[in-house]
Amino acid sequence: MSIVPFTTLLDRAVHAGYAIGYYESWDQYSLEAALEAAEECRSPAILGFGGAVTSRAWMDGNGVEELSVLARCLAERSTVPVAVLFNEAGTYEQLMRGLHSGCNAVMLDTSHLPYDENLALTRQVVDAAHPLGVAVEAELGHLADGTDSQVKAAVTDSHEAAAFVAASGIDALAVSIGNMHILADGEAQVDIELLAQIRRLVHVPLVIHGGTGFPAAAVSAAIARGVAKFNVGTRLKQTYLAGVKDAVAVLPDRLNVHRYVGSREAEDVFNYAKERLKKEIIRYMHLYGSAGKASV
């Protein structure tokens, strides 16, 4: 099945009443975990990486190309339909490099900007991406940050959202309805009625960032109101790090280091963490209803 358009995946999800998770990755092990989870439970997948929580200097170096090419390579041999997303690029220049390195969907981090600046930059991205067959996601409204109380939320206004989508030409809109970035504990208080108001005026697929803290009980209601994609990152890194810690904690005093680092055998501490991560991603795929939908 290999790589398919981002818009195709989201449109199928909206039509069939499920959502696809974007399980943010940061290296080969995490990208493999997301793809293997999708193949194991026959789910469509969005492979990708993000700029918001990655060193700007590293991304400005070769980071964008390294992750783009790696994600693209895995996607091309996939047995389920896959899109490749560069999420929340830190700069327009970074985004353009991802666009030319194999990503077929991109998003520039502009939600913190005033409406007019957000729209102008997003329109610039659309004008560059669409001629190359690359889809564009954008965000209107701003999420609070679970690690920084000074970062306050600005919820998405439904009328502004409709105007923004029409003027920008984007393919998917991320919204702020109480969901939060990096909410490591507990659940966000989300406004499903606000989501319904947005959906009545906005007809592109909707996206929820901050999936870690999004209440599981509200997932089906969100999907029914046009959400076709959830972004999850914090929970995945928590799961992976816990796996690494557990694997390292039981290492023998005397060992052949090659079996425990990079061997891809069961003893490989990063492979052990990857298997933990894969199980967590599969749990989300069932929560979002994408399991078994690879051919839908």
DSSP state letters, 53-88: TS-HHHIIIIIHHHHHHHHHHHHHT-SS-EEEEEEE
> What does the pLDDT look like over 176-219, one tens digit per residue?
999 999 888 889 999 999 999 999 999 999 999 999 999 999 99
Delineate the domains of the chain, giving CATH numbers in brackets. Answer: 6-242+274-288 (3.20.20.70)
Would you say the C-alpha torsion 262, 264, 270, 274 has a positive or negative sign? positive
Mean pLDDT of 167-179: 98
Mean pLDDT of 249-253: 93
DSSP state letters, 79-113: SS-EEEEEEEESSHHHHHHHHTTT-SEEEE--TTS
Least confident of 13-17, 153-157, 165-169: 153-157
pTM over 0.85: yes
SS3 category, 205:
coil
